[in-house]
Amino acid sequence: MSNNQLKGYVEAILSSASFGLIPLFSMPVLTSGMQLPSMLAYRFGIGSIVMMLVLLWRHENLHISWTEYLQITFLALLYAISAICLISGYNYMPSGIATTLLFSYPVWTAILTLLIFHQKPTWRMSLAIILAFTGVYMLSGVHAGGGIKSVFGLILELLAGLTYAIYMVTFPHMRIRRMSSLKVNFYLFFVTTVLMMLYALFTTGSIQPIHSTANLINLILLGILPTAFSNIFLVLSLKLIDSTHVAILGAFEPLTAMTVGIIVFGEPLTVAVTIGFALIIGAVMLLILRKG
């Protein structure tokens, strides 16, 4: 394995692991009374402001072409749809089942790369997908009970996984992949912020103000760690390894979320959770320690 490949795997793991911190910062904000559209608008708005400040500090040129703007808008639309569908699906099913359905995106990614780019998955990649998906299934608690309340909820979560997979598959083949990661993510989150503001205005009538210091701190951390930080490493990893491998390594997202739940929120460490951890680590080892 080349140094670039190893770097790509590490960046993909950092991306998905930091993305798994979303519940740590979003749950206190939501339980305080802020509605989802407003929280998402603040999340992406803060993320774009942080990246803009870094870009200005580094004196990077912020100019983009009309073609690059259209490509970024397309990706932002996919990202916004995935985020909205994921959380909206919680109204129709337990969050564990929703997490499992969202993690359909490695399967969608493999299907899309096969249909569009004729890239056939190897036996190692296929086994890694099965191990990772089974691991997420064990983490989710689906096997312990609960169910989907409507077909509409199922469609929402599968759509969340599909749109995220399209995002991952199309980015490496776009012109904007040659832009700096900070610049790409700044414009991506800026456009996503505009979309989320429109979503908030059309669904709830306004963007709610931030009423407490605790909410402000949580929103800032939400905009930095599982948003800006996560997506920068996602873009970096997609420049070094293929999208299917990055998608499989996304299993660290629910793994991190579950770890946070156990350590911070006092959720139980069950046998099923332990098995889920082991299966996900096994999937990662299959990818990283392959010969060649």
pLDDT in tens, 156-194: 888 998 999 999 999 988 999 888 888 998 999 999 999
What own/partner pairs with CB < 8 Å and gap ≥ 24 does 38-41 have? 38/200, 38/204, 38/207, 38/208, 39/219, 39/222, 40/83, 40/84, 40/87, 40/196, 40/199, 40/200, 41/193, 41/196, 41/197, 41/199, 41/200, 41/207
pLDDT at residue 126, rounded to an integer:
85
Q: Collect the ranges in the chain with pLDDT lower than 50.
A: 291-292
pLDDT at residue 291, rounded to an integer:
46
pLDDT at residue 292, rounded to an integer:
41
pTM assigned to the model: 0.81
**Domain residue spans in the chain?**
3-288
pLDDT at residue 154, rounded to an integer:
79
pLDDT at residue 216, rounded to an integer:
96
pLDDT at residue 116, rounded to an integer:
85
